[in-house]
């Protein structure tokens, strides 16, 4: 499927339904996360699920590790705004209990539910209920015999683990499956998914397990997930961060938007890295702008620029932006100056104009502006700034002359 802003082709897969959410088969790539509450705490878990949904999470996973958790799921599932998957470890009977609770999917780890009869009992029940299963292979909990035979948690061992589970499912005619082969090592994870994509057409769930806390965890997870997505591999994703799960959902959504794989939901704020010409603390203004936009669902690209010399031109494709100059903020829409505001009103004006554009459109925003005056004042401020700091703030011209002398010597 061709995606605007992305030149590749997504891998063709089967499609399954997790509750009302399609996964695979050309459906939009979905974002997942997992609650960290005790599932028996129904109200606390639901509160977290609603926060995740608001941050862009499409599917949520809850642990089902004890009878009280299964009972909690029976109360959580009908009140959840998004499909609920039960995470099962070691005890196959907890999977059966979760199915009775009405969950929309299961996650089974082949490394800790290994008896074929147990695996097939769960798959048979899922077949009868049309509930999908994720085969969740994890490098850290690989079946000991595969670990031994392959000499460690190799991509081949992880792929074989998934294929073995698929064979058990096939014996009971069950194929509502998605698969993950996660590892905390990015190269291992990437290669395992590449190999898996060659041998199955089931949808794949991407993730770097135990990525750790931000910012390092964000870097690791993005490195693995984005690499595969840009190769067309992956149908649903999860950031596994040591952080509030809302950060996972937000990161997943932002990644898909950045890659052009999902439509923008919230503000995409871009900002210059600052330089000697900057008239403001760009980092502070950008931070305050992000806080001001918060979770407002305004799907615009917003630019914060430190000066009026290059700012409007560098961010001309942004829907709206602001650049500092002569202690004032110059607002521009699609690169066109529309207003000049006091420096202390930059952020509030940016939000106000973004809301107007979101509701009425770019043309209406430009039409309401005194563009001639705004452009005249912006030109004056640019000229003054260039006069104060020079066209060549880094003495590039002199450096070029010196470079020529060195080369001629």
The average pLDDT across 350-372 equals 90
Which domains are delineated in the chain?
Answer: 15-258 (3.20.20.20), 268-389 (3.30.413.10)
The average pLDDT across 51-58 equals 94
pTM attached to this predicted model: 0.84
Q: Which residue has the higher pLDDT, 385 or 325?
A: 325
- For residue 328, the model assigns a pLDDT of 79
Dihedral sign, CA of 368, 372, 374, 378?
positive
pLDDT in tens, 311-334: 666 667 789 988 876 677 888 898
The pLDDT-based confidence of 222 (bands split at 50, 70, 90) is very high
Coil, strand or helix at 17:
strand
Burial per residue of 105-122, b for 16 or more beta-carbon CB atoms within 10 angstroms, e otherwise: bbbbbbbebbeeebbbbb
Residues 274 and 287 sit within 8 Å (Cβ to Cβ): no
Q: Which residue has the higher pLDDT, 405 or 303?
A: 303
Output the average pLDDT for the chain.
Answer: 89
CA separation for the pair 107, 86 (Å, rounded):
6
**Percent of the chain with pLDDT strictly greater than 90:** 67
Question: Residue 320: which H helix or E strand, with range?
Answer: strand 320-325
Reference 220, options 195, 246, 197, 243; nearest CA is 243
């Amino acid at each position: 499927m061709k995606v605007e802003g992305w030149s590749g082709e997504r891998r063709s897969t089967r499609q399954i339904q997790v509750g009302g959410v399609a996964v695979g088969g050309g459906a939009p790539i979905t974002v997942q996360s997992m609650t960290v509450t005790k599932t028996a705490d129904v109200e606390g878990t639901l509160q977290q699920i609603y926060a995740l949904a608001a941050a862009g999470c499409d599917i949520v996973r809850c642990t089902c590790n004890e009878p009280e958790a299964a009972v909690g799921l029976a109360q959580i599932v009908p009140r959840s705004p998004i499909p609920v998957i039960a995470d099962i470890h070691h005890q196959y009977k907890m999977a059966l209990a979760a199915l009775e609770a009405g969950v929309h999917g299961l996650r089974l780890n082949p490394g800790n539910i290994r008896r074929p009869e147990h695996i097939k009992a769960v798959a048979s029940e899922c077949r009868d209920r049309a509930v999908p299963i994720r085969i969740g292979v994890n490098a850290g909990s690989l079946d000991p015999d595969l670990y031994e035979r392959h000499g460690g948690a190799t991509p081949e061992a992880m792929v074989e683990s998934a294929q073995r589970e698929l064979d058990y499912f096939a014996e009971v005619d069950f194929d509502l499956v998605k698969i993950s082969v996660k590892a905390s090592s990015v190269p291992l994870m990437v290669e395992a998914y590449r190999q898996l994509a060659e041998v199955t057409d089931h949808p794949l769930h991407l993730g770097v397990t135990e990525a750790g806390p931000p910012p390092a965890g964000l870097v690791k997870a993005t490195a693995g997930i984005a690499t595969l997505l840009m190769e067309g591999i992956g149908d649903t994703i999860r950031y596994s961060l040591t952080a509030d799960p809302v950060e996972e959902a937000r990161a997943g959504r932002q990644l898909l938007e950045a890659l052009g794989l999902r439509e923008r939901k919230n503000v995409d704020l871009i900002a210059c890295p600052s330089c000697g010409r900057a008239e403001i603390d760009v980092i502070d203004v950008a931070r305050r702008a992000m806080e001001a936009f918060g979770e407002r669902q305004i799907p615009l690209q917003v630019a914060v620029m430190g000066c009026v010399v290059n700012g409007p031109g560098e961010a001309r494709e942004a829907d709206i932006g602001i650049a500092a100059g002569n202690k004032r903020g110059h607002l521009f829409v699609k690169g066109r100056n529309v207003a000049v505001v006091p420096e202390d009103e930059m952020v509030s004006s940016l939000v106000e104009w973004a809301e107007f554009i979101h509701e009425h459109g770019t043309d209406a925003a430009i039409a309401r502006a005194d563009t001639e005056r705004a452009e005249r004042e912006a030109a004056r401020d640019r000229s003054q700034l260039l006069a104060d700091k020079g066209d060549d703030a880094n003495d590039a011209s002199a450096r070029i002359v010196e470079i020529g002398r060195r080369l001629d010597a």
